[in-house]
Structure 1
């Protein structure tokens, strides 16, 4: 490759944790690229004991790919202006400061998926009123998958997150009903009034304030 002028890397791999004696570290990954001094390499590696898997992501910086998957708490940060879609997953809680870092690193984010079943720590809950409000100015789609209610509150309570108008929300109906206090909660009303809610569940009887709580509702029957 004598005429090669640029090399962009984006390597995502999954490791099954089957009682391995040795698992690669970040130092091992960086050492593998020591013979490429002109390429700025960043990497993340996470081992999830509950899931029984390890996720490794190696990429050259600046990052030129549209999608950045499986971001965990040890995300190294940076500026990713080409990325419009990300997914977040960890077996440890995502605190408010983590979402601040995400919003700053992905200023043109359009699609966001969150999967985390662990509640935020009690300390963060007690000082929520002092949090800075996070803005996702270009967000179009917000998807919660097997997610603790704390993260739904993180995005729907208006003193924590400012959502843009006409955003599509995908979420379990029962979780949404709990967080919004049966669609009567004032703290979540401002953001919900901007949301196009896609309801996939079959609901026998709609709550009294359900239809007036969102900008638009699509009742999709399975």
Structure 2
């Protein structure tokens, strides 16, 4: 492919070398002498206990000094519980329709092309984080959240976060605080016709056994409810989700 003039790369490298600017120069750019446009979205992961010198985000960013024609964004995250290091590098403006594994280190920006995101961290997501996500991804349709740690500061008054295009919401793998946040209409405004995935026990606690008024409005907007850890349908749940097919 030595005559290639444009190249776009998007992939995840599991437990191999961390891919940075030096890696891209040595293994790709130096072999494509006619390359004029290079866009990429690359995430590489490695085991923490197998890396001698843990790189910082500044270390990764410094490897792109020779990339004169691109704005490069990088982020490095340490997941100590999972024993993993995640390194994410991409050219900006971002052109892909998905943006996965967004953590508290997310630097912001505007991503009009993105329709699907996942929010993942071992540290709690504070309210400010969700406001930043709403502004950065105004057209998201699918959101998956995974976080077991509740926020430490939830006493401040915030404006309602509105997700104007969201149709699929997966809250099945996180602390019940985040389920409460998305289903309470004074905190979050959901679009009509939402498909929701959640565990039954968490949903029952958040809605006070399907009687709580604060979560009734958003629950009434659900048209597809995918329950985990519940086999039989109960009447109170069906009344609380009047428009939903329950799976």
Q: TM (normalized to structure 1)?
A: 0.92
Deviates more, 1:74-83 or 1:140-149: 140-149
Aligned to 1:160: 187
1:198 maps to 2:229: no
Q: CA contact under 8 A between 1:199 and 1:218: conserved in structure 2?
A: no
Structure of larger gyration radius: 2
> Of residues 205, 208, 212 in structure 2, which corresponds to 1:185?
212
Q: How does 1:63-102 map to 2 (within 5 A)?
A: 63-102=94-133
Equivalent residue for 1:172, pick from 199, 202, 207: 199
3-state SS of paired residue (1:42): strand
Q: Which runs of 5+ in 2 are unaligned?
A: 1-31
How far the C-alpha of 1:104 sits from its partner, in A, is: 0.5
The answer to whether the Cα contact below 8 Å between 1:198 and 1:217 also exists between their aligned partners in 2 is no
The equivalent of 2:78 in structure 1 is: 47
CA–CA distance in 2 between the matches of 1:87 and 1:70?
5
Matches of 2:116 and 2:236 in 1, distance apart?
Answer: 32
Offset, 1:74: 1.1
Check the 8 A contact 1:156/1:188 in 2, yes or no.
Answer: yes
Q: Provide the rounded CA distance (Å) in 1 between the counterparts of 2:165 and 2:185.
A: 17
- CA displacement, residues 21-40 of structure 1 (integer Å, 9 cap, x when unaligned): 31111112111111111110
**Displacement of 1:214:** 1.5
Instruction: Single out whichever of 60-69 and 27-36 deviates more from structure 2.
Output: 27-36
Distance 1:205 1:108 in 2: 34
4+ residue runs of structure 1 moved beyond 6 angstroms?
none
Cα shift readout 1:2-51 (whole Å, capped 9, x = no counterpart): 54332111111111111533111111211111111111000111001111
> Are the equivalent residues in 2 in contact too, given 1:91–1:117 (CA < 8 A)?
yes
Larger deviation, residues 109-118 vs 2-11: 2-11
Q: Which has the higher strand share?
A: 2
Query: TM-score, with normalisation over the residues of structure 2?
Result: 0.83
What value does the CA root-mean-square deviation take over the aligned residues?
1.5
Q: Does 1:38 align with 2:69?
A: yes
1:138 alignment counterpart: 165
SS of corresponding position for 1:190: helix
Work out the number of aligned pairs and report it.
215
1:8 alignment partner, SS class: strand
- Whether 1:114 aligns to 2:145 is yes
Q: Distance in 2 between matches of 1:50 and 1:8?
A: 32
Pick the aligned partner of 1:104 from 135, 155, 159: 135
Distance 1:23 1:198 in 2: 40
